[in-house]
Structure 1
Amino acid sequence: MEWKLTREPLASVATDAIIVFHSKERESTQGMAREIDEALGFRISSLITAGEITGKLGEVTQLHNWGKIPSGRVIVVGLGEGDQTDLHQFRHAIAAASRAAKQKGLKSLGIGCPSSIIDRYNAVDAVQAIVEGIELGTYEHQKYQSETKKRELKSVLISIPQLNEQAAQAGIERGQIFARATNFARYLSHEPANLLTPQQFVDHAKQVAEKRGLDMEVLDESRLADLGMQALLSVARGSEAGARMIVLSYRGAPESTEVLGLVGKGVTFDSGGLQLKPSPFMLDMKEDMAGAAAVLAAMDAIGELRPHSNVLAVIPVCENMVNGQAYRPGDVIRSFSGKTIEVAHTDAEGRIILADAISYAKRKGATRLVDVATLTGAVVVALGHEATGMMSNDEEWADEVKSAARIAGERMWELPMYKEYGIYVESEIADVKNEGGSPAGCIQGGLFLQAFAEETPWVHLDIAGSATAPRESGIFAKGATGVAVRTLIQLAVRFG
């Protein structure tokens, strides 16, 4: 998509459509919308008076130009409460408007930035939100139908009479990078499991490493065995596709010993193992590698942004399948850390492979950790699809991650890690067991992983709910969301 800046007012811009905003508490049009309204003979005001335009967040109304302005259409989008609208809501409103334009087959858009946003946020963040809203809102998942009608929004013109052009350009560049990375994670997460095997995920990682100049190491099954990574190897035993551990390294602050470690769960298909999932729950298990996709996509963006920080990504990839070699309930596995794991349930496999990955990230020098995983169905019960479940062993580090998420516009909710919950992962025959029944299921996963993070400041992000949108809404297409990508990028930028 091509992005341009202009100081021309929207009323003078010649595009297929222009986007203007209206808020719920306003009884009439304001700012740029007023100028357009006057040019259209107060048709927008008439619809507001009639109650057909309410200003509700994300409400979209399309009007023709009646030959009154150069642009072919006017799209009025609701901003909700207006003065209380934050950048998260602003993105969603813009996404709704741009998606409507794309669905009509429009190729070009003009848009400005409402004064209520400009007054409360800096120009870089405001323009970045515009770019992300449109790039994320118009994204479509890859389809494999013989005849697919492809509609594409090709260009956007941002009217910035009141903004610094240099700041606006910086916002465009950052918005494109953040959105492109998020859409890359969406693409990977949505790919069918037969087209994104562990080895094919490795191939994508190699492309990122070559493109961004990242150091890369791939541990194959022989090397994993030499290192004693029986946790990852055990989960992969039931599949013909071998396990791999991908390690990517970016050194933007070579003088520093601080290293941000990002770990992503990469189960490219999860059958549940011997304790098979019911068929309705297995259908979307191609997306059980959304954490790995988020980490790889974030590294792609980090390599492009080149922040002053050191970032290490460790991504274990495998399938959890069933054959005569598959690991069993009751097995005891020795992990890379030396800790032993009792397998209480074969469908709690993500935490098992993350155990080796977290320990290896520490061995490779990570001083602070964030793992991202579609870990538990319990987090969907607790938080639905709106927020990511978050757990941590370090309050200060948790606050840093929450701040990055707030800036990125991604919702996270911290769950308690009280010692009393530890009883669920205590084992009578091993150091820890991977599942302890239904109570506090999401927290159980966090406590299991904490045993391997140990004293290293660590945050666990359970994205099992937030990785998937059940319906089209705002910046989300139905399906994979690319959640956590923008938070991880923002964290790497702040880490320096």
Structure 2
Amino acid sequence: MEFFLIKGDVGDVESDSIVFLCYEGQRLPTAARKIDRKLGGFLSGKVKSSDFKGAFGKTVLVDTPGDFNTKTVVLLGLGKKEGFGSLEAFRAANIAVARTGHSSRTVSVDFSNVDRGFLKVFLEGMACGAYEYGKLKSSGRKKNRIEKVCVASRRISADYFNTEAAHASAVSKSVAFSRDLVNDPPNMLTPSILAEHALSIAEGSDHLSCKVLGKEEIREMGMGGLSAVSFGSSEPPRFIHFSYSPPVKSRKKVAIVGKGITFDSGGLCLKPADSMRTMKMDMSGAAVVLGTMKALGELTPSINVHGLVPATENMTGASAYKPDDVVTALNGKTIEIINTDAEGRVALSDALSYAVRLGVSEIVDLATLTGACIVGLGLHNAGVMGNNANLVKSILNSSRDVGEKMWELPLDAELREEIRSRVADVKNVGSRWGGAITAALFLENFVSDVPWVHIDIAGPSYVEKSSDWYQYGASGFGVRTIVNYLMNR
């Protein structure tokens, strides 16, 4: 998708559809009133007959005569201006695509009423809304046809627009890449194939490098957690280490860590069939890391970034790890296995320990870690926990900036007793209470005193019920937040 600026009325350029963004309780934009006059009041009549007042997500569609510059005019409600933020901008853009994408190659958007600060997230929303995963369909036909988006505003300079559009383009492509990885079937995205994708990303940028550790290297390094989780699978594990170096040397060094379970059967603590059905998405955290690194290679922020992914399947088998096993993580801490279906945190123990060895100043991990987080926060919010209030605040602010919903949960010290083991340093699950928090407290054992934030993306990473702003399948949730966070460090 390409983005263009119109320094004039939205109707001055020929397009298949024009979208007017309308705040609730305000007059129609000037350009919309001009088109209404050409239509002999038909547009305003449709507004009245449909009782359109600009409530968020409400739309009015009008087909125009053949002598117009556009085939379709869409009025899209943004809700009250004082309640409009980045979340609403992103979702409004997705709705615009849903209303026009099936019939339009070029869409013009009147941005004259909207603050330019929402431009970047709106463009990201347009591109993300046009995403389709169709590569396994034999027909090869796309439902969405949008190729070009023209934004009309006299108040936005060309330089500002080009900067925001370049960022939006890079990020939305990376989100699409991340979604593709999660949507790929598990027989087409094994740990080895995921590692190949990582190497391919690094080859495409002068600022990225990537090394991949194989099964024996993982074992020899002392990554007992990742090794143990992989024992039941015929697919060998991989440990992926990206390095991003900025154009100008910087002392700042951050690690982004993503859970990379490419399929999770639950291991010997086998999941029910219905719970296993979408477990290709258990590597969504890894997909965020790969998508983020892809974006960094293009956007070149002034900070050193390490992207780390422990990648494996969690399968049953004669050699699979078992409840009551004790494994040793990279930092030397011992882990009692209570439940083999709590494997993500066991694999992450090594990746977090590895990040500490790199001498980073901050660690952020993303993982589809617990059903408990979904129970507590629902399907649309990620849970955020950490050992450093300033870093937690930075992540939450970044998520609000881009319109991704996150909510802080307490890293409650009283719950540490839940994961205390009688035979090892720590056990991999506690009781049923506070499961999202005890999972984070488990991870805390492997970050030493480095400022760290854990983001549980179990809810929003995969969509099973489509809406106007999220299609079925992978959402790419987290990429935009993390890229924004890194660009502003």
> Contact 1:37 / 1:43 at 8 angstroms: preserved in 2?
yes
Q: Paired residue for 1:168? A: 161
TM-score using structure 1 length: 0.95
CA contact (8 A) 2:228 2:327 kept: yes
1:59, 1:172 → 2: CA distance?
26
For the Cα contact (< 8 Å) 2:134–2:142, is it kept in 1?
Answer: no
Q: Residue type of the partner of 2:85?
A: D
> Closer, same or farther in 2 for the Cα pair 1:254/1:170, shift >3 Å?
closer
Quick one: structure 1 residues 83 and 37, their matched pair in 2 at CA, closer, same or farther if it must change by over 3 Å?
farther
Q: CA deviation at 1:468?
A: 1.4
Q: Following the alignment from structure 1 to structure 2, what is the Cα–Cα distance between the partners of residues 437 and 390?
A: 20
Do 2:191 and 2:262's aligned partners in 1 also have CA atoms closer than 8 Å? yes
User: 1 CA distance for matches of 2:379 and 2:112?
Assistant: 29
> Distance in 1 between the 2:333 and 2:312 partners?
21
Q: Which moved more, 1:204-213 or 1:29-38?
A: 29-38
Q: Distance in 1 between matches of 2:30 and 2:139?
A: 44
Distance in 1, Cα, partners of 2:444 & 2:248: 28
RMSD (Å), alpha carbons: 1.5
Say if 2:86 and 2:400, in contact at 8 Å, map to a contact too: no
Equivalent runs, 1:24-39 vs 2, <5 Å:
24-26=24-26, 28-39=27-38
Q: 1-side partners of 2:398 and 2:232: how far apart?
A: 38
TM-aligned CA deviation for residue 67 of structure 1: 4.3
Q: CA deviation at 1:399?
A: 1.0
Aligned to 1:60: 59
One-letter identity of the residue aligned with 1:44: L
| Cα contact 1:393–1:457 (8 A) shared by 2 | yes
Corresponding residue number in structure 1 for 2:110: 112
- Residues 216-260 of structure 1, C-alpha deviation per residue, up to 9 Å, x if partnerless? 111111111111111000000000011111000012176433211
1:181 CA displacement: 0.9
1:349 aligns with 2:343: yes
- Counterparts of residues 104-143 of structure 1 (less than 5 Å): 105-115=103-113, 117-118=114-115, 123=116, 125-143=117-135
Note the residue ranges of structure 2 that are not aligned, 5 or more in a row: none
SS at match of 1:289: helix
Cα offset, 1:366, TM superposition: 1.7
Once the two structures are superposed, the pairs formed by residues 284-303 of structure 1 within 5 Å of their partners are: 284-303=278-297
Q: Report the Cα offset of residue 61 of structure 1.
A: 2.4
Whole-angstrom distance in 1 between the partners of 2:266 and 2:58: 41
1:362 equivalent in alignment to 2:356: yes
Instruction: Work out whether residues 112 and 154 of structure 2, in 8 Å CA contact, stay in contact via their aligned partners in 1.
Output: no
Matched to 2:97, the amino acid is S
In the alignment, which residue of structure 1 is the partner of 2:177?
184
Contact 1:198–1:319 (Cα < 8 Å) also in 2: yes
Is the partner of 1:71 in helix, strand or coil?
coil
Q: Distance in 2 between matches of 1:57 and 1:314?
A: 39
Alignment-mate amino acid for residue 137 of structure 2: Q
Question: How many Å separate the matches in 1 of 2:468 and 2:205?
Answer: 31
d(CA) in 2 for partners of 1:206, 1:376? 29
Among 362, 365, 368, which residue is 1:371 paired with? 365
User: What's 2:142 paired with?
Assistant: 150
Percent identity over paired residues: 34
Query: Bigger shift: 125-134 or 199-208?
Result: 125-134
Q: Report the CA distance between 1:38 and its aligned residue.
A: 2.6
Q: Which amino acid aligns with 1:394?
A: N
Amino acid in structure 2 at the alignment position of 1:37 = D
Q: Does 1:12 align with 2:12?
A: yes
Match of 2:96 in 1: 97
Residue 76 of structure 2 is matched in structure 1 by: 77
Structure 2 residue 461 is matched with structure 1 residue 463: no
The equivalent residue for 2:41 is 42
Instruction: Give the structure-2-normalised TM-score.
Output: 0.96
Secondary structure at the aligned position of 1:453 is classed as coil
2:299 aligned to which of 301, 305, 316:
305
Change (3 A) 1:20 1:254: closer
**d(CA) in 2 for partners of 1:10 and 1:41?**
19
Contact 1:39 1:68 in 2 (8 A): no
Contact kept in structure 1, 2:112 and 2:155, CA below 8 Å: no
Unaligned runs of 5+ in 1: none
1:214-363 → structure 2 map (5 Å cutoff):
214-252=208-246, 255-363=249-357
Q: CA deviation at 1:37?
A: 2.5
Q: 1:474 Cα deviation (Å)? A: 4.0
1:422-445 deviation digits (Å, cap 9, x = unpaired): 111110000000001210011011
Figure out how many residues of one structure are paired with residues of the other and give that number.
Answer: 487
> What is the letter of the counterpart of residue 372 of structure 1?
L
Deviation at 1:291, TM superposition (A): 0.2
Range moving further from structure 2, 29-38 or 309-318: 29-38
Secondary structure of the residue that 2:306 maps to in structure 1?
strand
Q: Deviations over 1:345-394 (max 9, x none)?
A: 00000000000000001112222000000000111111111111010011
Aligned equivalents of 1:175, 1:329: Cα separation in 2: 46
Q: Which amino acid aligns with 1:209?
A: A
Compute the displacement of 1:171 (Å). 1.3
For residue 209 of structure 1, the aligned residue among 177, 194, 202 is 202
Contact 2:270 2:341 in 1 (8 A): yes
